[in-house]
Amino acid sequence: MSNPKQVYITIEWQEQGPLESTGRRLWRRERKVCTVEDYPQRIPCNNPDCEEGGFDIGEKIAALLSSKENNEQNSLICRNAINKERQKRCLHIITYSIACVRPYQRQKPQAVSKDG
Ligand SMILES: [Zn+2]
């Protein structure tokens, strides 16, 4: 079923571990397309030592949806970064970008070349 009033949300993120001598290690890169009804509240953390960690993307998406902006790029640190026990702290971060496609924007802009 396609709803002409549906707002689509594209989330792209890459997760990175703690700083290493050669820079940050890339853990994984993902892309997800979802709607207002089913966007994730939390992206799970892939650190095997991190218990119940994750990245609270849901509130970022909600804030973006209620704003007049359509794009946001930022980074989030794992929620376990503030664990009381130092050893359980997780230093994974994600760098994300969120893009909202609102219904009235779906008409194709003119003069866009597909070459390239
Ligand atoms: Zn974590």
Q: Is the dihedral of CA 10, 55, 78, 68 positive or negative?
A: positive
Q: Phi, psi at residue 62, to the nearest 5°? A: -60, -40
Find the 103 Cα to ligand 1 centroid distance in Å: 35
Find the 75 Cα to ligand 1 centroid distance in Å: 14
Find the 99 Cα to ligand 1 centroid distance in Å: 24
Find the 82 Cα to ligand 1 centroid distance in Å: 10
- Copy the structure tokens of residue 30: 């993902």
The 10s digit of each residue's pLDDT in 60-97 is: 999 999 998 999 999 999 999 987 888 889 989 999 99
Find the 89 Cα to ligand 1 centroid distance in Å: 8
**Global pTM?**
0.78
The 10s digit of each residue's pLDDT in 8-36 is: 999 999 998 876 545 556 778 899 999 99
